[in-house]
Structure 1
């Protein structure tokens, strides 16, 4: 248990709050293995632990340095120091693409998971490609080809959720009991708890944010009416994730990008496109905003928590024997 060779899963977070949520859902936290020899070129710091039967090592991007390039550097350094890693988990927050009129009713705090669709491996890079006739965009070829061990676990968990509710609410409550301060709000820093339905507002694309840290001054007549939910339990959505180095926080630009890609994407984020070509990686995102001008930080901690909680539930469906037989990430590395 104290050997570095027993750690097969690399968990990558971009933000400190995402790493905090990841650490909080560990069943056990481990000391650094005595036989771990960090490569001289690897600047990462690591958190070691266990979820269920799996040993996991967690890394995060350097503070304040985000995007695909930083994510790629973090993943590459991890694999340099930990060549026995089989699979990756990229877990954190994202801007949701809510389209209630198309039955894509994504809310703040919900969880989005990358899943192959058609020719897409589950992630597309929206800011790298070439223009085609008709204003469409030819995207990079099929990012994120998931290994069978991840696809099998996804299928098993989706089947389970058809007959039984997700364990995310239970995992969140365990987190709050173990770390009470995570359930507290401190000044302008809301806790890792649901922020209230009244603070989850989706506006029509033409309505820009009026100003300030909340939408108090935004015109309610521009708000999109949605069916009320009777529970704060997050819902889980599977689909294609749009990734790139451009922070999307304008609804018109958001919708133009989606139209150009020709994909029915479920969220925008800024790291996956830098990782998935060099690391067999499942992308799991908690929704903290709607990628529009009304974007603020209020839901980021809770979204980090729901993404981490889903990841913990997911790992219980990853078969230990199948993971052990999965090729090392370095052996399927694409340069």
Structure 2
């Protein structure tokens, strides 16, 4: 099998810089290889649509330009990369530069060259420009990638919550470590655009440009000191992380066309992880992901709820005559009438049979996951119709009495799934490995769910993981408002301007002990002293019309700017469509997002979700043998653990 061509080579000068790059890209000892007398680390960075970059990383044997040029030449000879990136830390050339700021080198200026005469030193101007295409891509990165880069960073050494600035200027390169203000200013005076001073960029740039076929090159640095007498190592780890994380997000923005053909489907067996799992794991590591959970993650619970409620209220809704014994489906047909809103056919093709029910009946042609999805979709519709009709015939309180009676039974029957348990245990796992860097132990600030069962909360309690709950009030005196239940605290009403009550990390809040918040958009059944969850179409309509006005603004901001992982929905789920229009009126999510499903979406749905910046990920490996949710959780767990090492 032909070896993959290298797209990018990343060169670092010192071990701290190389470790930061390895951490950002998930590189471990298993990726280390030796070629000749040099050591490299080689990995594939997955992009979109099964594309990838082949990446090689190396560390210089020593600092300064000569070693940098020799190492770059050896790397280019061995791997023939399309581009070379010099990544690491530097000293500030100007007082305006803040520690931790990023500097992209439009040009690398060699300040050592010159002639010493009796009258003084005559400087010989020598510099190399950045590759024009890399420069264009680096200075015009997608906003979502820049935002994701900033959120992936660790805490600053001084404890402040500000993000690093990105500068585009000249980087001075020489043979000396500068720790003197006057010398620094003398170097900076040689070119008014000099922002940073370092020792290896010129050597790497020289090697890249002097090839028979010049290799694209860009120098990426972050400020670790001011190159003055106060120079120390305190900011070096942070600055190294700034440069490394920027480099990763820059490459994820796909600055150059990949040189290799996309991965086949399925990936080769020796591939470490699939692209979606890798991307999702990276978002969890950086704290950027928002799980958004629907009824499909526990479909049997809501199917049982609809059937059990129908059994319970049937006598009140459809009187029985003589020995006629109505079944659940007869009840639904009586309530809905003809045509059903779910029937889709052209008039000339009118059928006497419901196509959905017919498909469910054809077991041999209907995979189990499709059958379960159809049953859930029908159950959701039926639950709303039954609830709405029951209120019209009786009253709201009587409906909830019946619902609570059913839910009490189901609560004893159903247990948290592997997904619930995974989400509950993940904060502790992340904390052990000190991820995310900005707020260790907080892989997600927010989990959104439209489910009103308490299985997720039970999993968090079992894992002894602190969490807050914000839930919707569907009816009663506080209809349309939200309640906040702090961890080990009392329930209280919360409004749009009450974000300071929530355990939010920077930049959304300043809680000393931030922890996950579970947002139950449709309410919860556990606080049974009030009608807390959405059961009817009218309640759903009221929720959509008031949602953004009553939900704390910080939670709305997190949702609108985050990367979303939808789970438990089919692409055609009507509730999800309404929520999309509510939270994202432009019908496009800013951050790269995913919808994990086991359905068979049509061409329309596929194009709609693509336009929304949401990738549809089908868990089914084939039509007859779908991968289960448990398998997805296991795969994601393996991926996350692999990314730690």
The interval holding the TM-score normalised by the smaller chain is 0.5 to 0.7
Say if 2:31 and 2:43, in contact at 8 Å, map to a contact too.
no
Q: Which residue does 1:73 correspond to in 2? A: 70
Say if 2:173 and 2:201, in contact at 8 Å, map to a contact too.
yes
Distance 1:156 1:71 in 2: 28
Q: 2:84 aligns with which of 85, 88, 100?
A: 88
Q: With structure 2 as the length reference, what TM-score do the two structures score?
A: 0.36
What residue ranges of structure 2 are gaps of 5+ in the alignment? 209-215, 261-645
Q: 1:265 aligns with which of 186, 194, 199?
A: 194
Distance 2:185 2:229 in 1: 13
Shift of 1:29: 5.9
Say if 2:91 and 2:225, in contact at 8 Å, map to a contact too.
yes
Distance 2:67 2:121 in 1: 30
Say if 2:145 and 2:249, in contact at 8 Å, map to a contact too.
no
Q: 1:139 aligns with which of 96, 112, 125?
A: 125
The answer to whether 1:299 aligns with 2:235 is yes
Distance 2:168 2:206 in 1: 20
Report the 3-state secondary structure (helix = DSSP H, G, I; strand = E; otherwise coil) of the residue aligned with 1:166.
helix
More helix by share: 2
Q: How has the CA–CA distance of structure 1 residues 80 and 172 changed in structure 2, closer, same or farther, with 3 Å as cutoff?
A: same
The answer to whether 1:156 aligns with 2:118 is no
Q: With structure 1 as the length reference, what TM-score do the two structures score?
A: 0.66
Say if 2:92 and 2:197, in contact at 8 Å, map to a contact too.
yes
The answer to whether 1:114 aligns with 2:114 is no
Distance 2:245 2:76 in 1: 25
Q: Which residue does 1:184 correspond to in 2? A: none
Shift of 1:28: 6.4
1:215-241 deviation line (CA, Å, top 9, x unaligned): xxxxxxxxxxxxxxx733111111000
Distance 1:77 1:152 in 2: 27
What residue ranges of structure 1 are gaps of 5+ in the alignment? 100-104, 116-121, 174-192, 198-229, 326-335
Distance 1:75 1:301 in 2: 24
Q: How has the CA–CA distance of structure 1 residues 145 and 169 changed in structure 2, closer, same or farther, with 3 Å as cutoff?
A: closer
Q: Which residue does 1:19 correspond to in 2? A: 18
Mapping 1:205-220, distance limit 5 Å = none
Distance 1:20 1:167 in 2: 20
Max Rg structure = 2
Mapping 1:182-221, distance limit 5 Å = 193-196=155-158
1:62-112 deviation line (CA, Å, top 9, x unaligned): 2xx2111111111111112112x110110001001233xxxxx31111111
1:29-58 deviation line (CA, Å, top 9, x unaligned): 69559xx883x4xx2211112333322110
Q: How has the CA–CA distance of structure 1 residues 169 and 252 changed in structure 2, closer, same or farther, with 3 Å as cutoff?
A: same
Q: How has the CA–CA distance of structure 1 residues 145 and 311 changed in structure 2, closer, same or farther, with 3 Å as cutoff?
A: closer
1:241-266 deviation line (CA, Å, top 9, x unaligned): 0000011110011112222x233200
